[in-house]
Amino acid sequence: MSVSGRLVGLLAFGVVPVVVVGALYDQAFATLGVWVLLVVVLVVIDLVAAGSPRRVTLERALPSRVRLGETAASVLSVTNTGRRMLRAVVRDAWQPSAGPASNRSALVVPAGERRALTIALTPFRRGERRTETVTIRSFGPLHLAARQATLQAPGRIRVLPPFNSRKHLPSRLARLRELDGRASVMIRGQGTEFDSLREYVRGDDVRSIDWRATARHSDVMVRTWRPERDRRVVIVIDTGRTQAARIDDEPRLDTAFESSLLLAALATRAGDRVDLVAYDRRLRGRVHGASGPELLSRMVDAMAPIEPGLIEMDWTAVPGLVRQVTTQRSLVVLLTAIDAPGISRELLAIVPQLARDHLVVVASVTDPDVLASVQRRTDRDEVYRAAAAERALLDVARVTTVLKRYGADVVTASPAELPPALADRYLALKAAGRL
């Protein structure tokens, strides 16, 4: 049961008769009693006349997935199976991070009819967002008091990573096409393979004229070349505790997701096969053997519920994981944090082993805060901050040096720049034919 502000107002209005009758006839207490009794009677009438909040059927219509930052419409159909009119305020108990536009809506459902309640959800956190219950507060015709019941109506929506870095995709695809024989610019050399023969057009490199084919045809034929295809890319995402750190108000893990999505989109367009492994001490997510649009949708699906664990990454298992995915030489991208040498010791221990069989790229986010601190030196505290920042950068530089010496490639950039930087590195490696 619940009461409305109207009841409070009605009760408060009783002050008028109490004072008037009290001043004129000295019957203040009796008036008060009569007034309170009147209000109680009205409340009872209202409660009896209110539609039952339990005689209700609930149905949900809800998209199963929404990209972070986008808005989805959650439709809740309320059917009144009771005999009385339902004048209700309905609360759909979404988790706050599901971002419901409003969680209280007025709804009037005549007996035996159905009404739809549409709520716009704009989730602001990745992962599985749920609602378990719907609370209905059913007011009587006087709107003084209400009956209230909480009903089970589970619903869930999966919030996918936003893939904001897809804005970098067109320019990188254009660069990929430059590598490809479809563009007029011909790049021939290591890392390209024979694609097809076509007629010569003005501007083609004369060195690529295939004389034998020209002899067979009446026209001058040139060979076209394309970058090597069907290479493998294995993306390993560290989901351990260092990935929980926020840089530029984005956890390292989310930057890692953005980077791997852009890389995967590019690589699958380039004809390479991409596999994803998210791991800390147990397998948190895995995408294997998908390609094209399916690859991206399976990747975002696998990534959606992953949160950084508060445990240390177990790097010793990573070579085994990569071996499970493929035994052929591939590009292994380790998305992790490069920190002080002490923290990165395990990573440093496995890199030589991986680099022997594969091409290893370690991608890490650098903190723009640290870089900015180096330049700000106006007072004593800032100079000490700059010194600490230099020390942190030195630590990173040392780990980077060791990684490079062990044969790994290192990509570091700020959260906004890491995804394109990693994509560029991939293109560079592809152009150089090192895959």
Partner 1 sequence: MSSALQTPPPAPSAPRDAVAVTPRLRSTARRWVFWVVVVVLAVLGAGFAVLATASAIPDAGRYSIESAGPGGSKAVAEVLLQQGVDVVRADTLAEAQAAVAGHDATLLYTDPFGYLDAAKLRQLHGLGAELVLVDPSSAELSILAPGIAPAGVVEDSPTVDAGCTLPAAERAGIISRSGTTFRPVGGAAAVSCFRSFDDAFSVVQVQPADGGPVTVLGAGDVITNDAVAQNGNAALALGLLGAHPTLVWYLPTAADAAGTTPPTLGDLTPGWVTPVVLLALLVVVSAGVWRGRRFGAVVVENLPVTVRASETMEGRARLYARQGAYARALDALRIGTVSRLTETLALPRHAPVAEVALAAAAVAGLPTAGVYDTLVGAMPASERELLDYSDRLLTLEQAVHRATDPRQGPRQGP
**Alpha carbon 160 to its chain's center:** 4
Report the residue number, 192 or 255, with the smaller CB distance to partner 1: 255
106: Cβ–Cβ under 8 A, 6 or more apart, which residues?
A: 88, 89, 90
Min dist. Cβ of residue 388 to partner 1 (A): 4
Instruction: Compute and round to an integer the Cα radius of gyration of the chain.
Output: 33
Min dist. Cβ of residue 124 to partner 1 (A): 11
The helix (H) or strand (E) run that includes residue 390 is: helix 380-405
Distance (Å, rounded) from C-alpha 424 to C-alpha 374?
27
Report the residue number, 139 or 426, with the smaller CB distance to partner 1: 139
Report the residue number, 2 or 184, with the smaller CB distance to partner 1: 2
Min dist. Cβ of residue 145 to partner 1 (A): 10
Distance (Å, rounded) from C-alpha 180 to C-alpha 175?
9
Beta bridge partners of residue 320, listed in sequence order: none
Min dist. Cβ of residue 431 to partner 1 (A): 24
Min dist. Cβ of residue 80 to partner 1 (A): 9
* Torsion sign over Cα 56, 61, 67, 69: negative
Given phi > 0 = left and psi -120 to 50 = alpha, else beta, which region is 292? left
Min dist. Cβ of residue 255 to partner 1 (A): 11
Q: Is 213 exposed, middle or buried (0-12, 13-18, 19+ CB in 10 A)?
A: middle
Q: In the chain, what's the furthest Cα-to-Cα distance?
A: 126
Distance (Å, rounded) from C-alpha 365 to C-alpha 363?
7
DSSP letter for 400, please: H
Distance (Å, rounded) from C-alpha 371 to C-alpha 360?
26
Min dist. Cβ of residue 303 to partner 1 (A): 14
Report the residue number, 132 or 193, with the smaller CB distance to partner 1: 132
Min dist. Cβ of residue 66 to partner 1 (A): 15
Report the residue number, 81 or 297, with the smaller CB distance to partner 1: 81
Min dist. Cβ of residue 273 to partner 1 (A): 32
Report the residue number, 62 or 374, with the smaller CB distance to partner 1: 374
The helix (H) or strand (E) run that includes residue 332 is: strand 331-335
Which tokens hold the place of 200? 């010569």
Report the residue number, 205 or 250, with the smaller CB distance to partner 1: 250
CA-angle at 302, arms to 297 and 306, nearest 5°: 140
Which tokens hold the place of 71? 């808005």
CA nearest neighbour of 370 among 397, 392, 395 = 392
Min dist. Cβ of residue 61 to partner 1 (A): 11
Which tokens hold the place of 369? 């805060």
Report the residue number, 5 or 203, with the smaller CB distance to partner 1: 5
Report the residue number, 105 or 353, with the smaller CB distance to partner 1: 105
Tokens 């893990």 sit on residue: 253
Report the residue number, 87 or 232, with the smaller CB distance to partner 1: 87
DSSP letter for 96, please: G
